[in-house]
Amino acid sequence: MLNMSRRALLAQGSALGAAGASLPLFAIGSGPARAADFTLKLANNSPVTHPQSVRAQEAAERIKKATNGAVDIQVFPNNQLGTDTDMLSQLRSGAIDFFTLSGLILSTLVPAASINGVGFAFKDYDTVWKAMDGALGAYVRSEIDKRGLTAMDKMWDNGFRQITSSTKPIKTPADLKGFKIRVPVSPLWTSMFTALGASPISINFAEVYSALQTKIAEGQENPLTLIQIAKLYEVQKYVSLTSHMWDGFWMLANKKSFNALPPDVQKVIAQELNKAALDERADIASLNGTVAEDLKAKGLIFEDVDKPAFRDALKQAGFYAEWKKKYGDEAWGILESQVGTLS
């Protein structure tokens, strides 16, 4: 929330305007330190040690320095402010100013935002970043904007998702039959695992560890880095390398609070959050090189699976036809222009 009322802000703006039209509201990066004029909240669902939380904290520090202390972004990682569902409401009401959320979960508000999660759409990271930094990302951001939120240009990496289980190894699509799998709260996730014959249960990330521990769910799916950082290996035994979708986080702002900030402040914040996103992508890329060995050492048993068999099962179930219809020809066309023909 802004410390300053909108009226005070406008008054300051017009006073400055009277003094000298070209002066920015803040002499960015110069002058003595002072109390923050804007105290803002940034929240996420990621553990404190996840690169997403670490890089967000660094961005907050750079922003504070660059605005000479005028902008103080307080970072609340690890669901400190509630579950993803709670935090999305708080972002919309303005109680939170910035929130990183998976596009798939955001789709409960912005249906198009789950499109990057279509099963087996992306073959590798080059294709992901070309699409999300290009035409597909631009399309989704314009849809987000229509719903009162602002998405920063650069998406943050979550990763390619893999299925874990505590009860049995998942080797073929048939092994998913009746499998009680936790999925995040998102129609695309439920639809995809239903199409694969599983019994998906929607649970926010804040409750995943305990749901697995108490066996409310037998399994879940997440990128290896998150499985490691959130210690899900403690309550899971097998991991199947399905890479069934790529998932990333949008850095979202409440559009009204963001637009109420002076333009030069908006610019610094966007620049530093986008830089942090690129740093976070590089962190995940580097962790991806070592995480499988680390998880094996922790006792997880790895299964290499025939990915096309899972993709065929989705196709047979009518998954691609259904979602093409839901997203519409324009969105589907942009997706296919980036990843090739899907259906």
Which of residues 246 and 320 has its CB atom nearest to ligand X2X in the complex? 246
Closest CB 120 distance from ligand X2X, rounded Å: 18
How far are the Cα atoms of 28, 65, 160 from residue 265, in angstroms, in the given order? 8, 12, 34
How far are the Cα atoms of 119, 172, 283, 327 from residue 127, in angstroms, in the given order? 14, 26, 18, 20
Q: Name the residues that contact ligand X2X, by CB under 6 A.
A: 45, 102, 105, 158, 184, 205, 222, 226, 247
Q: What's the rounded Cα separation, in Å, for the pair 112 and 103? A: 9
Closest CB 9 distance from ligand X2X, rounded Å: 33
The DSSP bridge partners found for residue 241 are 304
Which of residues 26 and 193 has its CB atom nearest to ligand X2X in the complex? 193
Q: Whose CA is closest to 160, among 202, 221, 237? A: 221
Q: What's the rounded Cα separation, in Å, for the pair 57 and 44? A: 11
Closest CB 189 distance from ligand X2X, rounded Å: 9
Residue 258: left (phi > 0), alpha (psi -120 to 50), or beta? alpha
Q: What number of residues does the chain have?
A: 343
Closest CB 65 distance from ligand X2X, rounded Å: 29
16 by Cβ neighbours in 10 Å (0-12 / 13-18 / 19+) ranks as middle
Closest CB 224 distance from ligand X2X, rounded Å: 12
Q: What's the rounded Cα separation, in Å, for the pair 250 and 34? A: 31
Which of residues 99 and 238 has its CB atom nearest to ligand X2X in the complex? 99
Type of residue found at 222: N
Which of residues 137 and 184 has its CB atom nearest to ligand X2X in the complex? 184
Which of residues 38 and 238 has its CB atom nearest to ligand X2X in the complex? 238
Which of residues 117 and 137 has its CB atom nearest to ligand X2X in the complex? 117
Closest CB 312 distance from ligand X2X, rounded Å: 25
